[in-house]
Every structure is written in structure tokens, then in C-alpha cells.
Chain A
């Protein structure tokens, strides 16, 4: 069954639990890594938007990578960054129009959301279910 990562800013309270969860889910050298998700002020009263990678179909990051370090995982649908292949050119960081490919200075690496390999931790921890990972329903798929 296929899943889809759904963001519902209406119920986001800006508690930043997702950010913490993400950082701890992607540790390196025993320390938390850089989060790939950021709840940001949406510009209206009590409106927070958790900004993270949309796993775009025609993704700018994938196109920008000259060494094919970014590839879509056919199972999870996530665009994954192969750190062993990345040459740190920063093309994807500069190219992503949503700012979701990031440099993690702590570990000198470029990182992005990988949907935690098919079980996004942020969604687990979001207290208001502003983030969820839900099965794609049939009619959805037809509509999509």
C-alpha cells in the first residue's frame, strides 16, 4: 500500500516537537543531527506551517545534482540523498525552491527529509496530528 505524507498547518501549534524528533531520528556521532523540518510562522495569527520536503515529482534538487547522489526511493517515494556519493557542491541546497535541502554544518554534510525510510518520526510525535503519514485511498489515487 502507498502512503502519503500530509501536512495540515491548521492544527499546527508551533510546538516544534517534530523538529526535535527529526534531529534525534537522524543522529551522527551520538549527537542529534540537523532537523529536516521546521515549523515557521505563517504570517497570520496563530498560524504555523511545518516546512519540509514535498518530495516533488519534477524535483529541482534531483535535477541539480550532477553526480546523481539524489534518487527517489521507489518504495517510500522519498527523494534520498546518498551521502557517500554527495560531493558537497551545494547545488541542491541552492536549487530547492522550498529551501528543504540543507547543509548540516555540524557533520559537514548536506541533508534532506528521507521520510525516515518509510516511517516518519515527526508524524509519530506530532501531538495535534498536523503531520500524518496516511495510506493513499483509491479515489485519491485516481484524482491524483
Chain B
């Protein structure tokens, strides 16, 4: 058990826990844009930075990203020091200049009282804040269908060669976890299109409701040893089937007992 303080309050955590996890567990609101429990922390957005010090540092302190700083005995963490707030405001200010139309960024800005950007608005700034969640999640799912392209200010997210990605299964995990809803996809009655590639969606053999894509289902079936037939019925109809099957069994015992 590791003991340390957050904003003066003594807390406990397990070895290997990251500061952000403990901070949030304590109900303290520290913003983040690039953090997701499913994937390794990356330290890209820098919003989760906190100020840390120790008794023996004699008043010296430093700034670390709490999402990837492991807890340490005797650490003294301040989540909202003046410098930390300045830093978060500056990051939000920079975001605002780059992504002036993003509602998520506007929400964050209003939370931190940043009303307009100090900097030059970037002419063609889109909503991708380069948090890297989409690519990291995609890689973690085992697909690596998209990645970052280029570097610096022009860096962007794209499939290889910007062509329809062959490794994509259309699971939508990238789009579902994009903090600014930047990743677009469209659905049709029996298909789904993302990253310029169109996928066939499976339809429930009972009611016709569409579920996941055929590519994703086949991938799961193959790599995870799940009968493909499981994917041919939607969850509602699966429950109904279950009720019918059990109903028959119960009815049979009823009749036998009668």
C-alpha cells in the first residue's frame, strides 16, 4: 500500500496505480483528453498535469502528467495550483485557436473560463485534437488500421496511403472514442462506411435489425473461437430464443409432473 497526499489529504493506493486514477477516485476533477483505461497512457494532451513535491525537495516542485505518473510513497500532489491552472488554460487557449468549432473544446474552455483565444486562429483548423486515442485503441484491438501521418503541426490521422484501410473491420471503436466526434462514418440499411471503406453489416435473421459488420464478426469468430452463428441473431431475439428454449424445458417438466 502506497501512502501519499492529494491536495493535503492523505490517500492510499496500490503500487503501480497512476496518479490520475487515484485523483479521480477521490472525486477530484482533473481534465484529460487523451486518456482511456483500455490503452497505455500517452501523455499527449498535457491537461492532466499536476504539481508534485516531496518533503525532502525543500520547496522545489515539478510538473508531471498524472495519467502516467505512478504513485509514490510520501508524494505531495497539488491538482489545481496556480501554475497548473495557468498551464491548463494555455493548453485550452491553444486548442481554441486550432479547433475553434469543436463543441468539446468549447465546453472545456468554458469550464476553465477561457472565453476567447489569445492566439492566431488557425485557418483550416479541424476538430481532430491529435489525442491519438483512435490509433491507440485501434492498435490495441489488434487492427492498426489507422495511424498518425506526418509530424508537427501538420500531423493527421489516416489509414496507410490514405486509401481504404485493408486492416479495418469497421468496429467503430475509433469513432466511438473520439473525444471531439471528429471521425465520421455513415450507415445505410445494410452497410456502414468509415475511412472510405464500406462494410456489410449483419442483419438479425429473426427481426432484421442490423448489428456489427460481417468483417468484425468473422474476425471475432476466427480469432476468438466463437461460432459465427452467434452473430446471426440480435441480442433482443437472442433473449426471446432463450426464453422459448427454457420455456419448452419447463413446460416439459410440468407435463411430466402433471
Contact = CB atoms under 8 A, between A and B. Distances in A.
Interface of A: 9-10, 38, 40-44, 47-49, 51, 60, 63-64, 66-67, 69, 82, 84-91, 93-103
B29 interface: no
Interface of B: 36-39, 137, 140-142, 171-173, 176-177, 202, 211-212, 216-217, 220, 224-226, 230-231, 233-244, 246-248, 250-251, 253-254
Q: Is the interface of B mostly helix, strand, loop or mixed?
A: helix
B202 to A, nearest CB: 8
Given A67-B141, A91-B216, A49 B246 contact: yes
B244 A94 contact: no
14 contacts: A10-B253, A44-B250, A63-B224, A64-B220, A66-B140, A88-B172, A89-B176, A90-B172, A90-B211, A91-B212, A93-B211, A93-B235, A99-B233, A102-B235
Contacts of B246: 9, 42, 49, 51
A96 B230 CA distance: 7
Contacts of A10: 250, 253-254
Given A9-B250, A47-B251, A87-B141, A97 B238 contact: yes
Given A87-B137, A87-B176, A51 B142 contact: no
B173 A42 contact: no
